[in-house]
Amino acid sequence: MLYYLIVCRSLTHAQRTAAALERGGITARILRSPKSIAGEGCSHSVKVSQRSLPEALRILQRAELSPKRIFITAGDGSYQEVEL
Amino acid sequence: MIYLDSAATTLQKPPAVARAAARAINHLASPGRGGHRPAMAASETAFACREEAAALFHVPSPEQVVFTFNTTHGLNIAIKTLVKPGSRVVISGYEHNAVTRPLHAIPKVELRVAEAPLFDQHAMTEAFRQALDQGADAAVCTHVSNVFGFVLPLEEIAALCRDRGVPLIVDAAQSAGCLPLDFQALGAAFVAMPGHKGLLGPQGTGLLLCSGEAEPLLEGGTGSQSILQTMPDFLPDQLEAGTHNITGIAGLLEGLRFVRRQGIRNIARQERRLIRRMGAGLACMAGLRVFLSEDPEAQAGVLSFLPEGRDCEELGELLGDRGFALRAGLHCAPLAHKTAGTLETGTVRASVSPFNQDWEVRQFLRAMEQLTGR
């Protein structure tokens, strides 16, 4: 199943992101960013389903929570960055 | 024992505080260090605590709520961020050593003390105005004197600082959880507060509310940007190196929830009522000098008194022997004692929490009657 990972600058930022999405009715789960996408080392990401991304981006824009980077994955170890 | 030393640490806490701390020891790991359940549960607790504090103190984002170990820790971060060698700093005449010692540790700081008589809020505002008008790089102000309970006119002082573009650091050690405090409205650069006093959390907890980035006091692991050898440039990670005191944070969360449920205005009303009753009772006794404000709004839940012709520490000991916990001496605030004229003698200080009752005040007054011979 395809899903997106919204990479956040900090755990607290990921928590704010997930909270905003949940309030907007989107299921969002915080997880440690896979090492291959973490960039500068440890970071946290918010996982959302493929179909939720457009609405998630609208919610985050309204909440002024701009994502650092977004990746799409099938959970098979490959990650492709999505242009914002 | 009747506990009247909440200005040092509140001893009676809501039962949920101890339960949460005990649960944390057994079930919570380290926030941001691992994706397993105990680490994520710890992260959720820490975030809930930040959100609760942000709501209580009107902080725009929970990321601006930084965990510290106590008020002193937060004040050191704030002061060392804003005050550099040669800086001109305005402080009130009622500051604690947690403010004055870090300032004295920075070379060539030009310190200007805004002095005003005890409980005279108008004079304090004017003293700050005059001191700020001479030019200042920063101002530091306690909200409530830890010795006398004097409520400084923080909103007016903050407005003076805003008008002049002077960053303000607030020491909310005695007011957080006891008096309303609106971080956003104040426009302060930093507000430092303890978790273990008015917020009713465990010792070893504190909060620093930040308007923006600050300089780390400690460097180390943050669970973020681990490749880099510099600290993250974003809050709260920038100021939270090393493992969090999650046991304390879990307890603090319950303390914050209790304070929000009770309502800070209700807590302030209750504490003022007790202090005024205590002050009025002591004022009737011979041989005591009681520092009670005529204006109830100018004093919070702290009351100092001075036995004439007797050492204040001796009276504190006698009260301790009779089962009353008060604190005597200089209360780590020699500047406040100097301003009020009690540096040579010190005072005995009583301070209350939302858990103190009228009967405790009555028993304390009875004991004082016996000790003063009336």
Asked if the Cβ–Cβ distance from B225 to A30 is below 8 Å, we say no
Contact residues, B window 278-307, toward A, CB-based 8 Å cutoff: none
**Extents of the domains making up chain A:** 3-82
Burial of B60 (0-12, 13-18, 19+ CB in 10 A): exposed
> Which chain A residues have a beta carbon less than 8 Å from that of B48?
none
CATH value of A3-82 in 3.90.1200, 3.30.70, 1.10.3470, 1.20.58? 3.30.70
User: What is the set of domains in chain B, with CATH numbers?
Assistant: 2-11+264-372 (3.90.1150.10), 15-262 (3.40.640.10)
Give the mean model confidence (pLDDT) for residues B100-129: 98
Model pLDDT for residues B119-169, shown as the tens digit of each residue: 999 999 999 999 999 999 999 999 999 999 999 999 999 999 999 999 999
Q: Which residue of A has its CA nearest to B37?
A: A31
Chain B residue with the nearest C-alpha to that of A12: B63
Residue B297: other Cβ atoms inside 10 A: 12
Total-model pTM: 0.96
Q: Which two tokens stand for residue A79?
A: 């990650």
Beta-carbon contacts below 8 Å between A and B:
57
Host H or E run for residue B34:
none
Task: Kindly determine whether residue A30 and residue B47, on different chains, have CB atoms separated by under 8 Å.
Answer: no
Strand-pairing partners, residue B150, are B299
In this predicted model, what pLDDT tens digit does every residue of B206-216 receive, in sequence order? 999 999 989 99
Three-class SS state of B190: strand
pLDDT for residue B93:
98
Question: Which one, of B21, B1, B22, B32, lies nearest residue B244 by Cα?
Answer: B32
- Of the residues A12, A37, A44, the best mutation for testing chain B's interface (the one with the most B CB atoms within 10 Å of its CB) is A12
Residue of A5, A9, A11 to mutate when probing chain B, most B C-beta within 10 A: A11
pLDDT of residue A6: 96
Helix (H, G, I), strand (E, B) or coil at B74: helix
Task: List chain B residues with CB under 8 Å of A10.
Answer: 63, 224, 232, 234, 236-237
The residues near B333 (Cβ < 8 Å, ≥ 6 apart) are B94, B95, B96, B97, B145, B146, B147
Residue B374: predicted pLDDT: 65
d(C-alpha B55, C-alpha B63), whole Å: 12
Q: Which chain A residue has the Cα nearest residue B65?
A: A12
What is the DSSP code (8-state) at residue B156?
H
Contact A16 B234 (CB under 8 A): no
The single-letter DSSP state of residue A53 is: H
Tell me how far apart the alpha carbons of residues B267 and B198 are, in angstroms, rounded to a whole number.
9
Enter the tokens of residue A47. 């996982």
Residue B167 contacts residue B189 (beta carbons within 8 Å): yes
d(CA B309, CA B305) in angstroms, rounded, equals 13
- Provide residues of A within 8 Å CB-CB of chain B: 9-13, 15-16, 19, 30-32, 39-44
